[in-house]
Structures are given as C-alpha cells and as structure tokens.
Structure 1
Amino acid sequence: MQNPVSPRRKFVRAAMAAPYLTREEEHELAVRWRDHQDTDALDRLTTAHMRLVIALAAKFRYFGLSQSDLVQEGHVGLLEAAARFDPDREVRFSTYASWWIRASVQDFILRNWSIVRGGTSSTQKALFFNLRRLRAKLATGTEAKSGQALYDEIAEAMGVDSKDVALMDSRLSAPDTSLNVPVLEDSGSSSDRQDFLVSEEPLPDEIVGGEIDAERRRLWLKEALGVLNERELKIVSERRLTENGATLESLGEKLGISKERVRQIEVRALEKLRTTLMADHPAIVGSVS
C-alpha cells in the first residue's frame, strides 16, 4: 500500500509541473490582467511563477520558520508584483516579481522570527539576513577570524558599527526567553522569571504614605497662612504657591511698591510661616523656604 502524498508535496509538484511562459504569452497575460482584471490570466501568470516562489522561500529555510508559511508569504509578494507590473516595460515578470517575493518573505521572517521586534532599518535588515553567511565565510579558511576581529571585518564589509554586528549576533545566537517561564521547571516552583524583576518604582505603601504626608503638610501650611496679613498672603501665594511664580517686578507694579520692597515683605512673611510651623509641627522644619 502506497503512502499518501502530503498536500505540500502535491502543491510543489503542481508548481514544478506548470508550463513556462514565453515572453509573448507573459506579456499577453499581464496586459489582460492590467486592462481587464482577467482573473484567469492572473491565475496562469502566477501559477507559472510559483516555482520561483518556492525557490526563493527555500533560501530562508535556516531561520526556523515553517516552509509552508514562507511559500505562502512569497505568494502574497507574487500577487503584489502582478498588481504593480507594467507589461509595456522591457522587463520579464520573473525579474520584477523576485524583488517583491523576497521582500514579502523577509518581512514575514522579521515579524515572526522573534517576539522582540528588530531589524527595522534597511541596514539592520541587511545585517540580519547576511550575518550568518558572512560569519561562516570569514570564520573559515587560512585567515579565519573570530571574536571582535570577526565583528570588525563584518562591520567593515557591510558599512555598519561593530557593536551592531555583535548585538545582532547575540540575537541570532540566543532564543527568546519568556518571563512567564518558571525559574526551576522541574522543582514544581510557582515562581516565574518576572517575579524576580526589580522595579525602581516606589512600593504601594510608600506611595500611599507619601500622599498622606503631602495632604497633611498642605493642611498645616493652610493653617499657617492665617498668620499673614493680606499683602503678605498675596505675595507668598503668587510667588511661591503657583506653578509659574510671579516676578518681584510684576508684583511691585500690582501693589504700587518697589520690587525691593516686595522682596523684603516676602522674606518677612516666609519667616513668620517658618516660625509658626516650627512651633506647631516641628517635623516640618525646612519644608518651607
């Protein structure tokens, strides 16, 4: 009894069996699709180039993603190429489509290879897809290099910083690690890696305590302001208790006095506040200046 042929093998066989198109046939089908949206012409045009999709997708098989997914993404690029192709230019469709197929596959790899988004710039993308090849080439032979010397050589060849090469190499060498993975998987412990992350934010009780203390000081200050006369209160309020404190000169114009006189009144008012607060609440010493 023969083993059943998998759907993937059937697809590959069908793609490889599709007839090649002559330049004239290709041009005719492309014109029919562009001018009349003839879906039969589109189907014939893309089917004849699926072997190109499979061949280009196979070049990226070492990134650990499903070959079927890569072919599917390559087909998306093929359809995009068909939608944008101008048959009146002296360019074969396969030449034009190769760029779109490769770009679609590479974008899929960058989106799915790691849970951490990377390689967003053209330089980073080139480094991501060429680092393995360049590293293998430079690490073998009579003048093999390793370590920093290897990074420097690759950086010079690609026109990037050697630090970027080292960072990308570390990303390609180490798999992603989830913060939800138990620290000791075989110990039965319920502690995840994220449980050991140190936060620089204050603890909840510290936040609440700070809010309570701040509210208490506001009440103390409000009570202490009662010892000031009307002019002292106006100067302190506009100089010290507003987000954008008024200048001595502007307050002097409002009150009809010199800015030096405003400064003197302010100093005296602050001293009265300090004396009152120290007498009633010694812990607040130094909080008003």
Structure 2
Amino acid sequence: MSTSLQPLGHLSPGQDLNGYIQSVNRIAVLTAEEEHELALRLHEENHLESARRLVMSHLRFVVHIARSYSGYGLQQADLIQEGNVGLMKAVKRFDPHQGVRLVSFAVHWIKAEIHEFVLRNWRIVKVATTKAQRKLFFNLRGAKKRLGWLNNDEVDAIAGDLDVKPTVVREMESRLSAHDAGFDAGPSDDESSAYQAPANYLEDHSLDPAARVEQQDMENDSHGRLLKALAALDERSRDILQQRWLSDNKSTLHELADIYGVSAERIRQLEKNAMKKLRESMGDMSEGFAA
C-alpha cells in the first residue's frame, strides 16, 4: 500500500485545513466487527479497498494526535500529513489476529512519523540524535512547570522519571532554550551589530588556498629530505628503520635480531644510531635550504 494515498480525493490538510477536518469528522467510525472484517481481507487478500476504508475511518484520530504537537511552531497541516503517513504504515502492518483495535496499534506509528517531522524541522541544527535525547526532547517540554530554568530537584526528578542522567536533562534544556541564528548578517543589521554574525568569526583557515599550497610544499620537502637522509645510511641501518617505522607490518626487535643474527639489544642500538644520523642529516639539509 502506497503511503502517497490521498484519503479524500483532492482535498488535503494543506489546501483547506478546516474543510479537511470537517470532512474527516463526517466519515463514519467502524465498529469492532467491521474493522476486524476489513483487516482480515487486507491481511489475507491484500484487498486495497479494505485498506482505504481502514485509513479513512481513522483520519480523525490523526487530527486529534497532531493537535497535541501544536507547541512546536510547525504547521498543523504538515503534522497531520505526517501522521497520516504513520497511519497508513500502521494499517499495512496491522494483524487482526492479535485481538487489539487498530487505533491502539496505530498510535505508535502516527506519533513516530510526527516525531521525526518535528525533529527534522523544529531547528536548523538537530537537537536530538540519540534515543535518550529523543525521548527527553518530547517529555521535557511537558515536564517543565514554569518558564525559568529547572532547579536541581526538578532536574533530578525528571531524570528519574525518564531514566536518564541529570547532565542529559541539563544539556537538552539548554538546547531547547537556544535559538537558530543566521550565518551572515541580516539586511537590516547596522554596522554596530553586523560584526556579531558568525560569518565574521567562524572561519576555516584550513581551506585557504595559499595555506594549503604552503602545507603541501612543506610535506613534499620533508618527504624528499627523508628519502635523501635514508639513502645516506648503510643498507642494514636503512632496512632496520624501514622495518621498524616505515612498513605497514612493523617488525619487532627480536624478529630483526633473528634476521641479522645478533641480539635484540644490538638491533636497538643500531636503530638508535640510525635515527640520530637521520635527524642530523635532515637538519643539515634544512639549514642548507634556509641559507
């Protein structure tokens, strides 16, 4: 069953909200026997007309749920549309053999779709991403008894009720109290306030073309000096450094000791001396370039 179903022909909440609500309230509510029979036909025969009737008879219930989310500053018509998507998903998954009414089963799917819509559109930046944050987001607004910040006792009580840490409650309260801000100064901002726009102080210097070219030149120069310094070492010292530091599968001191037939301590000494020569050689090259 497609979730793009238009339950009332061409009428939708976005076109005429009041007319839509009046229309869905005129649709007859199904009896338990009628609902069970339609659900059986859908479940066993995939009968689409049965699905349509089940959806239509529960549209008023979606309107009722959507009204409880009016405090988020979002269009009521959009909330109803999202709730309708959840209702259609519920009808598709409803099993009449479980012995429950569709309205009891559908409430979860309707609220889930509305929750997703609120979280996507309430702020430009998402305020809730984890499961605990999402639960807290929709409960904290109703749990606050006043407009001011929560005191410690209120934070602890809410944290206990929702089974989250008090620090999570404090963080979510801070997010709920924050406001979106434009990145650039507004057209009506004067010089005294325009400088406060984030565009004037949030700058990513790593993307500066000159800085990137300079960084690449430094990396190429360092790589070239390293290769020259390695070439100046004797073959054994060079191999030890490559095996110990430059290989994807680095060798241990004991593994190299077995290869060269010496003690692990001797390999450590050779490695130390080779590193010293390497640093000195690269230092001399750097001074020569600087001169």
Q: Distance in 2 between matches of 1:221 and 1:38?
A: 74
**Contact 1:182 / 1:192 at 8 angstroms: preserved in 2?**
yes
Cα 1:250/1:118, change in 2 over 3 Å: same
Say which of 212, 216, 230 aligns to 2:217: 212
Say which of 174, 193, 197 aligns to 2:198: 193
* Structure 1 residue 11 corresponds to structure 2 residue 20: yes
Give the structure 1 partner of residue 81 of structure 2: 72
Cα 1:165/1:184, change in 2 over 3 Å: farther
- What is the one-letter code of the residue matched to 1:193? P
- What is the one-letter code of the residue matched to 2:190? S
Which consecutive residues of structure 2, in runs of 5 or more, have no partner in the other structure? 1-14
Say which of 175, 179, 182 aligns to 1:175: 179
* Structure 1 residue 38 corresponds to structure 2 residue 42: no
Q: Distance in 2 between matches of 1:222 and 1:89?
A: 73
Q: CA deviation at 1:240?
A: 6.3
**Contact 1:227 / 1:272 at 8 angstroms: preserved in 2?**
no
Q: Distance in 1 between matches of 2:34 and 2:80?
A: 25
Give the structure 2 partner of residue 163 of structure 1: 167
Q: CA deviation at 1:244?
A: 5.9
Which one has more relative contact order, counting CA pairs under 8 Å at least 6 apart? Answer: 2
Indicate the structure (1 or 2) with the bigger Cα radius of gyration. 1
Q: CA deviation at 1:23?
A: 1.6
Give the structure 1 partner of residue 3 of structure 2: none
Q: CA RMSD in A?
A: 3.8
Cα 1:151/1:39, change in 2 over 3 Å: same
Cα 1:162/1:252, change in 2 over 3 Å: closer
Q: Distance in 1 between matches of 2:59 and 2:265?
A: 86
Matches within 5 A, 1:44-123: 44-123=53-132
Q: CA deviation at 1:45?
A: 2.1
Cα 1:80/1:259, change in 2 over 3 Å: closer
Cα 1:98/1:186, change in 2 over 3 Å: same
Which consecutive residues of structure 1, in runs of 5 or more, have no partner in the other structure? 1-5, 285-289
Structure 1 residues 166-175 or 224-233, which shifts more? 224-233
Give the structure 2 partner of residue 149 of structure 1: 153
Cα 1:225/1:174, change in 2 over 3 Å: closer
Cα 1:36/1:283, change in 2 over 3 Å: same
- What is the one-letter code of the residue matched to 1:93? L
Cα 1:152/1:36, change in 2 over 3 Å: same
Q: CA deviation at 1:224?
A: 5.5
**Contact 2:127 / 2:175 at 8 angstroms: preserved in 1?**
no
Give the structure 2 partner of residue 287 of structure 1: none
CA-to-aligned-CA distance 1:129-188 (integer Å, 9 cap, x gap): 12122112xx49xxx994333323322332222221122122222222243x31784237
Structure 1 residues 230-239 or 44-53, which shifts more? 230-239
Return the TM-score normalized by structure 2: 0.74
Secondary structure of the 1:20 match is coil
Cα 1:149/1:252, change in 2 over 3 Å: closer
- What is the one-letter code of the residue matched to 1:78? L
Q: Distance in 2 between matches of 1:124 and 1:232?
A: 56
* Percent identical: 34
Cα 1:35/1:182, change in 2 over 3 Å: same
CA-to-aligned-CA distance 1:7-27 (integer Å, 9 cap, x gap): 222111111111222222222
Q: CA deviation at 1:36?
A: 2.8
Structure 1 residues 45-54 or 116-125, which shifts more? 116-125
- What is the one-letter code of the residue matched to 1:174? A
Q: CA deviation at 1:68?
A: 0.6
Q: Distance in 1 between matches of 2:283 and 2:101?
A: 89
Q: Distance in 1 between matches of 2:50 and 2:245?
A: 78
Cα 1:92/1:197, change in 2 over 3 Å: same
Number of aligned residue pairs = 274
**Contact 2:127 / 2:172 at 8 angstroms: preserved in 1?**
no
Q: Distance in 1 between matches of 2:258 and 2:189?
A: 77
